[in-house]
Amino acid sequence: MNVSIGINPITWSNDDLQYVGANNSLEKCLREAAAAGYAGLELGHKFPRDPAVLKPLLEEHGLSLVSGWYSGELLRRSAAEEIGAIGKHADLLCAMGCKVLIFAEVTGCIHSNKDIRLSRRPNLHATQWQSFGERMSAVAAYCADRGLALCYHHHMGTVVQSRADIDALMNSSSDEVRLLVDTGHAYFAGADPVQLVDDYTGRIGHVHCKDVRDPVMRQCQNRDSSFLDAVLDGVFTVPGDGDVDYERFFTALRKAAYEGWIVVEAEQDPAVAPPDYYASLGYRNLARLSAA
């Protein structure tokens, strides 16, 4: 497979719960990611946003910037307003040579609030999808003009969580809106990540690989936990360490002729899950799967 293997710094520190992994420095993250074999990282809250500072910092460790999450608010902004808001983030990604911009709609989202149960996540009415998709298409066209593929990140606790949500977004938007397939979020939401790859071949622009521990997921679903409580309880782990069928998933990626980044994004509490161990485990499993 013509892929590069990257990792998200959420293995070392959590963007939504910044006290989690607060003692892990950016230097430790970069050093251990490089030692594990990764080619690049996505942005995290400890990363400098000045390319003149960030580029030599990554190059010192032989790493590239893969991309970075952008929190969109298209449900309460016009496309023009969103384009104005996203410009600085796009500038950084372009300056760093990135080809992908990760977009997630966060209006009304509850994934970053430890006190709100997942059942209270926002939902769009059927009549809202078309206008949302049209605005998303306009932002994607702007990104494409900048040389960036807008890749939509479906995510627990947001308006695009379930398979039905993903279908509604894809059906109401242009082909310039690409799909980021996240194996862990799909599995947690009851969607088959393999079926997503099969059904949206040609629109898959980015891949996040996290695994799911079924017993923890079922317990969290039974308790109607918040998303962050589920994370702290250990619902996610690195690919190959849980219950997602990664052999099937990589067969689907290979059939779809996917090219680009595959990124380990497995948020765990680093005090419980040592980052160097899990980063190495995730890399070895993805290297084996992509070479098979």
Residue-wise pLDDT for 68-125, tens only, equals: 999 999 999 999 999 999 999 999 999 999 999 999 999 999 999 999 999 999 999 9
Q: Distance between CA 139 and CA 125 in Å, rounded? A: 21
In the sheet where 40-41 sits, what is the strand order? 64-65, 40-41, 3-7, 260-264, 204-209, 177-182, 149-153, 100-105, 69-72
- Which parts of the chain register pLDDT below 50? none
User: Does domain 3-291 match CATH 3.40.50.720?
Assistant: no
Degrees to nearest 5, angle at CA 161 with 29 and 188: 65
Q: Phi then psi for 288, rounded to 5 degrees?
A: -65, -45
What pLDDT shows up at residue 292? Answer: 79
* Per-residue confidence (pLDDT) for residue 276, from 0 to 100: 98
Residue 43: the pLDDT is 98
Model pLDDT, residue 90 = 98
Calpha distance 292→274 (Å, rounded): 27
